[in-house]
Amino acid sequence: MPAVAVIGAQFGDEGKGKIVDYIAWKYNIAAVVRFNGGSGAGHEVVIDNRKFSFHQLPSGVFMGKKLYIGEGCVVDPELLFKEEIDRLNTENIKPDLHISDNAKVVFDFLREIDAAEENFRNSHTSKQVGSTKRGIGPTYGFDVARFGLRMYDLVDEEKLRRKLPALIRLCQGYLKSLGSNYLIDVAKTVEKYLEFGKKMKPFVKDVRREVNDIHNNGRVLFEGAQGTFLDQIFGTYPYVTSSRTIADGVYGGTGLRIDKAMGERIGVFKAYTSRVGAGPFITRMDDGMQKIVRDKGDEFGRSTGRPRAIGWPNLVELKYANERNSFTGLAMTRLDTFAGVDPIKVCVKYRDEHGNETDEVAADVERYEKNKPVYVELKGWGELEKDGWARIAERGYEALPKEAKSYVKFVEDYVKVPVKIISVGADRKSTIETARLNI
Ligand code: IMP
């Protein structure tokens, strides 16, 4: 059956978790599959007014869906248990989790390297990436260099004992060259991860085959982590994550056969923009305006607690995201959070350093960040009384304030992709569908 991919169209934190949860519930999705990233991601789901933050687990835990972590992902066994599985177990929830034997293992010392790399960048280039320090970059890096360990190594005592000491030796030297004094205890680390290998074993398997099999008879949802502008190749390099965040990562990150139908590629974007970590952010609001939206929307990183920078809507970037992902539909989130802001400044092009108009998203980030935004002002929509948005969601699209509908239409006309889902609150019910998904 046609599958659906849910992809971040901005800098991550677009509200993908909520959209995934909604689609999984509404469309009888059989399996939710992650294809990229690791514990740096933060997806939040609100069930019965209880907030759950997930980092590595795909959304859909509460619906008893089959959950898959594909080979494009890095998995940190220590944080997976500590932050997610153990908490769910205390609530008597046992996720139906399956992890690719080919996914990459994040070790504690790779987190140390992540932090040491940031310090090194700070001292030698004065430009940090703003990484989540969860070992994502170093794990992918050592994997590409063919020194990393995969899940099949972690769950096999002989392999772990043979391969892990070599990686540690290499990493110890690397830590030193980064200026870090951190010492890795080889024996203790091997023993620690042997224990995690035992705990992980029941989850580890050939996810490639299972996902392709499920796709034959059921609906599969591929859940992206981070967003298009954090893609390792097409994002604002080097201020990016180390995995493929865009739609083509679905195939490379799960082993889904390329002739398998994808019914929808849904690009999720917030009514405004936000960014956490370093890197260009052309439509950044002034501090006062940022604070208003940040406080109202609780815009703080789920994995790191860092305040997110807040910006005006940027349609130049949304158009670029569509060019990289070929979205079949968009999902706009946080329409309710943006209420009360008037006028809304919408970026429709840039003025480059020579004063010329452009809509190019330059690969060279130093050139890209010199662009100045050119805005069109649209009328904002007002605040509603308590439960106002939930009541609108019940009545559907036509019930939205007319200014909000004009904004939606403006985005659709610019990007030339229909907005199929509009989210006006954190829970499932606060969702408006303007068109049925083709899945
Ligand atoms: P890393 O993935 O931890 O190496 O971080 C690289 C960049 O991606 C940094 O700017 C992070 O702040 C950003 N980043 C990583 N994960 C997320 C996410 O889930 N949402 C938003 N930004 C993220």
| Contact by Cβ (8 Å): 276, 304 | yes
Task: State whether the beta carbon of 38 lies less than 6 angstroms from ligand 1.
Answer: no
- Do 318 and 350 meet the contact criterion of CB atoms below 8 Å apart? no
How, if at all, do strands 344-351 and 357-358 pair? antiparallel
Whole-number pLDDT of residue 301: 83
pLDDT in tens, 324-372: 999 999 999 999 999 999 999 999 999 999 999 999 999 999 999 999 9
If you measure from the C-alpha of residue 254 to the centroid of ligand 1, how many angstroms do you get, rounded to a whole number?
21
Q: How confident is the model at residue 257 (pLDDT cuts 50, 70, 90)?
A: very high
Q: What positions carry a catalytic annotation?
A: 13, 43
Is residue 136 within 6 Å of ligand 1 at its C-beta?
A: yes
Structure tokens at 100: 């690719």
Q: How many CB atoms lie within 10 A of CB 415?
A: 21
With a 6 Å cutoff on the Cβ, whether 36 touches ligand 1 is: no
pLDDT for 43 beyond 80: no
* Residue bearing tokens 């514990």: 39
In the numeric block, the tokens 């985005």 are attached to: 411
Instruction: Tell me whether the omega of the peptide bond preceding residue 280 falls within 30 degrees of 0, making it cis.
Output: no
Which atom of ligand 1 is the closest one to the Cα of 279?
A: 10
Residue for token pair 């030193």: 176
Residue 118 Cα distances to 125, 275, 278, 338, angstroms: 10, 18, 11, 34
Cβ neighbors of 251 (< 8 A, separation 6 or more) are 257, 258
Q: What is the pLDDT of residue 381?
A: 97
Determine the distance from the C-alpha atom of residue 108 to the mean position of all C-alpha atoms in its chain, rounded to a whole number.
22
**Where does the pLDDT of residue 307 fall: very low under 50, low under 70, confident under 90, or very high at 90 and above?**
very high
Q: Is the peptide bond before 343 cis (omega within 30 degrees of 0)?
A: yes
- pLDDT over 90 (residue 166): yes
17 or 245: which leads in pLDDT: 245
Q: Find tokens 């929808």 and name the residue.
A: 264
Q: Are strands 431-433 and 50-54 parallel, antiparallel or unpaired?
A: unpaired
280 pLDDT higher than 80: yes
Per-residue pLDDT averaged across 276-295, rounded? 95
pLDDT band per the 50, 70, 90 thresholds, residue 91: confident
pLDDT at 54: 86
- Mean pLDDT (whole number) for 123-152: 94
Q: Is 241 in the pocket of ligand 1 (CB under 6 A)?
A: yes
57-66, 143-152, 170-179, 250-259: range with lowest mean pLDDT: 57-66
Average pLDDT, the chain: 95
Q: How far is the CA of 153 from the centre of ligand 1 (A)?
A: 27
Residue 59 has pLDDT above 90, yes or no: no
